[in-house]
Amino acid sequence: MLIGLGTATVLTAIAGARRGDSAFSRLWARTLPATATVLPNQPGFDWARVAALPEVAALTRFAVTFGFEAQGYPAASSGFPLADDQMTRTIERPVILAGRLLNPHRADEVVVTPKFAASSGKHVGDSLTLELSSVQQANEGYDGSTGPPRGPRIRARITGVIRSPWGLDADTAGSPGGILSSPALFTRYRANMLGSTGQTYINALVRLKGGEAAIPAFRAALARVTGRSDIDVWDNSETIGDPVRKITAYEAACLLAFGLAALAAALFLIGQSIARYTSATVADLQVLQAVGMTRRQAIAAASAGPFLAGVAGGTLGVAAAIVASRWMPIGLASVVEPHPGIHVDWFILGGGWVIIALRPGLTQRGNDSYP
């Protein structure tokens, strides 16, 4: 039991640290993330010229305006209304944790983040009422702070729970989570979101063929086709990725330090148990040598108990660590983990099992008390 408890604690911490440290990189690698956020902040901006640039692999537009408010959940993040169907398909294709992606041609479908599902109790198949602003409110620059929206109300169904780098702030501490609407909602209720004065603008996310390295060339090409050199181009790997990587690396280092401290304590406690067992068996082994037991046989007999305890305890500890992986990683890493739930890291768990199973026997063999 002592070996099993120590094994479970140490392997859970070390495997959790390794998983947390790589969480954002694994999410980034599989979601076709946007390389840059492009912010001309100009009404009527021609995005077709930008999408046609040779550096651009994909582009999706979003309206910088109040989108909607979910009835009963006013604090939930609704992000920026999607202005086309490229988001979730060719760029920022999210990990689907439950259900399916929304249909971009249906205005009555939404997807939500894990934090919203947990805080609201709403899950796949449940409905939400989306409250839009009136056209007059949109013309006046309505942002949700001057009273309730007075426009259309749409009954929408939650089709899935998703996770992607864009909009991760919706699931950070203190936030109730986020809701992503279909681009069909924007198309159908465009005037309720942009107004009718033509003063609201649309910005975009771009995924570049050359990744971050292509951003300088993209900036130059953007200035050339637009005639503007003042357009903000944010490197998303820096603005989104770097803060997350720093925090998750710190969390992983703390968890690893805890695991190593637990390992040192476990080795001391287990070593003491083995030493007591050794002292108790030395006298019996000496008696058996008098009737013909060889030194090799004596060592094998003395090692058998600790070895079997190591195998049994190590196996129990690995099994417990696998179960405990359901709650790993911790902290911010849990928000960016693309595969939450049970995860088996055989490199850590398998290697740990071998070391722990063999360690008691090796300790016994090296003990000078053996006859």
Our CA dihedral for 285, 289, 293, 296, rounded to 10 degrees, sits at 70
Q: Which of 166, 195, 187, 204 is nearest to 106 (CA)?
A: 187
Residue 48: enclosing H or E segment and its boundaries? helix 47-51
Q: What are phi and psi of 70, to 5 degrees?
A: -80, 125
pLDDT, tens digit, 9 for 90 and up, residues 186-217 = 999 999 999 998 888 999 999 999 999 999 99
How sure is the predictor about 167, in pLDDT bands with cuts at 50, 70 and 90? confident
Cα–Cα distance, 264 to 282 (Å, whole number)? 27
Q: Which of 35, 355, 4, 357 is nearest to 205 (CA)?
A: 35
Cα–Cα distance, 340 to 121 (Å, whole number)? 18
pLDDT, tens digit, 9 for 90 and up, residues 290-340 = 677 776 776 666 667 777 777 888 889 899 999 999 999 999 999 999 999
Q: Tell me the whole-structure pTM to 2 decimals.
A: 0.84
Cα–Cα distance, 44 to 49 (Å, whole number)? 13
Whether 4 has a pLDDT exceeding 70, the answer reads: yes
Record the tokens describing residue 298, joined without a space: 């004596």
Cα–Cα distance, 239 to 58 (Å, whole number)? 19
Residue with tokens 């079997």: 308
